[in-house]
Amino acid sequence: METQPKLNDFTRQELEEHYDVLKAEYQELKLENEKLRQAILYITELAEQNSIIADNYRSLFKKLYMLIKDKYDKKSSKQKFS
């Protein structure tokens, strides 16, 4: 099993180079996380808007159903008494 190098095994310059690489990778990850956060916020907003639209359609279809039902019921009751 290979042992991990110890900090004492690196020169100051090597440590600074590793630090610079890690810092650059950290910045990339930070930017990527921000993009993902923005995407999640956008998707959440779209889902909320879609839910509102679906509720509006449900309400509209319920009203249409009730109008048609009332008209049909009135028509049916007139025909029964004729």
- List, for residues 7-62, the tens digit of each pLDDT value: 888 999 999 999 999 999 999 999 999 999 999 999 999 999 999 999 999 999 99
Domain range summary for the chain, segments of one domain joined by +: 11-81
Q: Is 4 exposed, middle or buried (0-12, 13-18, 19+ CB in 10 A)?
A: exposed
Tell me phi and psi for residue 11, to 5 degrees: -80, 165
pLDDT higher for 27 or 80?
27
Per-residue pLDDT at 64 exceeds 90: yes
Are 33 and 41 a contacting pair, CB within 8 Å?
Answer: no
Determine the pLDDT at residue 80.
66
Q: What is the pTM of this model?
A: 0.61
**3 band by pLDDT with thresholds 50, 70 and 90:** confident
